[in-house]
C-alpha cells in the first residue's frame, strides 16, 4: 500500500534534533519527527520525593503537555481544567519510567531531574518522540552536573529511544503519522535500549485481535526503527556519547 507521505512501510519519518534549544535548561532539544515537534528540557531540583529522603538516591520524573495550537483543532490548556487529563498522566508516567530505566539513581545524590516535554506540533508519535528527545536532554543535563562538580560519574547506563508501530489495512507500518494512527487496527509503542533490551511495550488491538506472528513482526520492525533513532541520538550528542554506559 502507498503510505500517505510516500514512505516505505519500514521507513521512519525524517528526524532532526536541535540541541541547546532552551537557554535556561541544563539540557534541551527540539526533536522533529516528520511534522511532530517536541521541545524536551531537563532541569535539576535539589530535593527528592519523601520516600527517598535520607537514602542518598536521586529521582527522575517527567511532565508532558501540548500547546493549544499543537493540534488541528485548538486544544484547551489543561491548567484551565484544574488537572491533567488521564492521557497526559499516562504519557508522562511512561516518559519517566522509560528514562529512569537507563539511569543509576544512586549516582545522582538526593536530587531530582525533571524531563519536561512540550508538544508544539502534533502529527502522531508525540510520546515516543518525547522519550527519544528526552534522553538527549537528559545526557546534556548530566554533563552540566558533572561540569559543576555536583556528581562524580555519569549515571546513564544505556541509550533509550521509542517508536510507534501499527497495523493499517492489514499492513504493518513503522512510525505512524496521525492519519495512519487514527485508522490503525493495531497500535503499539515500543521503548528499547541500544542493546535491543525491552523497556516497555504498549500494544493494543483497536478492532480485531492480532496474532503472535503479527506481534513478532511489530517488534522486529520497531527494533529496526529504534536502532536508527539511537544513531540520531548519537549524532546529536557528539562528544557526550562518552557519558552513556558509565552508570553501571
The confidence score (pLDDT) of residue 215 equals: 95
Q: What is the pLDDT of residues 20-47, one digit of tens each?
A: 999 999 999 999 999 999 999 999 999 9
**pLDDT at residue number 110:** 96
- For residue range 121-141, what is the model confidence (pLDDT) as tens digits? 999 999 999 999 999 999 999
Q: Is 62 exposed, middle or buried (0-12, 13-18, 19+ CB in 10 A)?
A: buried
Domain ranges of the chain: 15-74+84-241
Please tell us whether the domain made up of 15-74+84-241 is placed in CATH 3.40.50.720: no
Asked whether residue 81 carries a pLDDT value surpassing 80, the answer given is no
Residues near 12 by beta carbon (within 8 Å), at least 6 away in sequence: 33, 163, 174, 175, 225, 228, 229
- pLDDT tens digits for range 221-241: 999 999 999 999 999 999 999
Residue-wise pLDDT for 138-194, tens only, equals 999 999 999 999 999 999 999 999 999 999 999 999 999 999 999 999 999 999 999
Kindly state the cell numbers that stand for 214: 503479527
Beta strands 171-174; 15-19: pairing state? unpaired
Binding site for phosphate: what residues are annotated?
A: 87, 125-127
Provide the 3-class DSSP secondary structure of residue 237.
helix
Least confidently predicted of 66-70, 97-101, 175-179: 66-70
The residue with cell 549515571 is 155
C-alpha to C-alpha distances, 72 to 3, 120, 122, 123, nearest whole angstrom: 21, 12, 9, 9
pTM of structure = 0.95
Which CA distances in Å does 125 have to 121, 128, 130, 143, 211?
11, 5, 8, 28, 23
pLDDT at 79 over 80: no
Q: Residue 44 in contact with residue 26, Cβ under 8 Å? A: yes
CA dist 104 and 106 (Å) reads: 5
The H or E element spanning position 243 is none
- Of the given ranges (69-83, 101-115, 124-138, 157-171), which has the lowest mean pLDDT? 69-83
For residue 1, the model assigns a pLDDT of 65
pLDDT tens-digit series, residues 196-219: 999 999 999 987 899 999 999 999
Q: Which of 111, 103, 102, 108 is nearest to 151 (CA)?
A: 108
Helix/strand/coil for 16? strand
Feature table: binding site: 87, 125-127
Task: Specify the range with the lowest mean pLDDT, choosing from 71-75, 86-90, 96-100.
Answer: 71-75
Share of the chain above pLDDT 90, in %: 86
Size of the chain, expressed as the number of residues it contains:
248
pLDDT of residue 248: 80
Which of 16, 56, 58 lies closest to 39 in space, CA to CA? 16
Instruction: Decide if 189 contacts 127 (C-beta within 8 A).
Output: yes
Amino acid at each position: 500500500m502507498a503510505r500517505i507521505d510516500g514512505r516505505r512501510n519500514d521507513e521512519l519519518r525524517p528526524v532532526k534534533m536541535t540541541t541547546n534549544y532552551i537557554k535556561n535548561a541544563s539540557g534541551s532539544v527540539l526533536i522533529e519527527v516528520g511534522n511532530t515537534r517536541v521541545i524536551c528540557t531537563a532541569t535539576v531540583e535539589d530535593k527528592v520525593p519523601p520516600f527517598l529522603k535520607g537514602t542518598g538516591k536521586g529521582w527522575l520524573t517527567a511532565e508532558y503537555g501540548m500547546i493549544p495550537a499543537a493540534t488541528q483543532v485548538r486544544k484547551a490548556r489543561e491548567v484551565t481544567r484544574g488537572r491533567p487529563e488521564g492521557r497526559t498522566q499516562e504519557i508522562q508516567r511512561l516518559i519517566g519510567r522509560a528514562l529512569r530505566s537507563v539511569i543509576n539513581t544512586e549516582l545522582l545524590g538526593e536530587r531530582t531531574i525533571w524531563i519536561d516535554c512540550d508538544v508544539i506540533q502534533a502529527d502522531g508519535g508525540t510520546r515516543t518522540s518525547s522519550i527519544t528527545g528526552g534522553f538527549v536532554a537528559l545526557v546534556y543535563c548530566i554533563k552540566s552536573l558533572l561540569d559543576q562538580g555536583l556528581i562524580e560519574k555519569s549515571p546513564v547506563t544505556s541509550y533509550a529511544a521509542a517508536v510507534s508501530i501499527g497495523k493499517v489495512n492489514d499492513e504493518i507500518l513503522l512510525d505512524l503519522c496521525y492519519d495512519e494512527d487514527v485508522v490503525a487496527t493495531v497500535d503499539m509503542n515500543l521503548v528499547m535500549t541500544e542493546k535491543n533490551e525491552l523497556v516497555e511495550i504498549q500494544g493494543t488491538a483497536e478492532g480485531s485481535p492480532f496474532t503472535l506472528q503479527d506481534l513478532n513482526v511489530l517488534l522486529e520492525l520497531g527494533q529496526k526503527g529504534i536502532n536508527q533513532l539511537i544513531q540520531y541520538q548519537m549524532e546529536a550528542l557528539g562528544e557526550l556519547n562518552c557519558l552513556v554506559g558509565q552508570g553501571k
